[in-house]
Amino acid sequence: MSFFQFIFQDWRANKANPKGRAILLLFRIANFCSRRRIYYYLGAPYLIFYKILVECFFCIEIPWNVKIGKNLTLFHGQCLVMNKEVVIGENCTLRHCITIGHKQTKTGGFSGSPVIGDYVDIGSNVCIIGKIYIGDHVKIGCGSIVTKTIYDHLTVVGNPAAPMHERERVF
């Protein structure tokens, strides 16, 4: 994959969203700079620029070393926080006010970060924390708190997040 293919890999997925395009373009360039030591040192001024611009002006924390697959769709690019160890698959959708990261353990340390599969659709105000796996083709409803692994082809909602068919029995 060439440099231009790499940095524009999310362009089509955000065709009606110039803010999402801008944020992801800035992220992909920073991510490219962080891949090799020589690029890291040469791109250090850009990495500082990226951190200031994206965090201060867009209120988004996507560390430049996060692993994100191609065709990420970013709606309403604001209030998005990710841990640097998060892994996100291809063709995923993120909305506003999402937190994805590790959690503090009882001993004071930190757990691992989530791994999110392909074709995952995450609603607004969702919190995904802990060393968990989110399977492929999963939908996470707005306001859900996800602390346990979710298997492929499920739709989960609520606090704590549970599959829709289980929620329907409760209510």
10: CB partners within 8 A, 6+ apart? 20, 21, 24, 25, 28, 70, 71, 72, 73, 74
Q: What is the pTM of this model?
A: 0.89
pLDDT tens, residue by residue, 7-44:
898 999 999 899 999 999 999 999 999 888 888 888 89
Cβ neighbours of residue 18 closer than 8 Å, sequence gap 6 or more: none
What structural domains does the chain harbor? 3-170 (2.160.10.10)
Span 134-169, pLDDT tens digits? 999 999 999 999 999 999 999 999 999 889 875 555
Residues 6+ apart with CB under 8 A from 51: 64
Q: What are the structure tokens assigned to 114, written together? A: 């989530």
93 within 8 A of 71, measured Cβ to Cβ: no
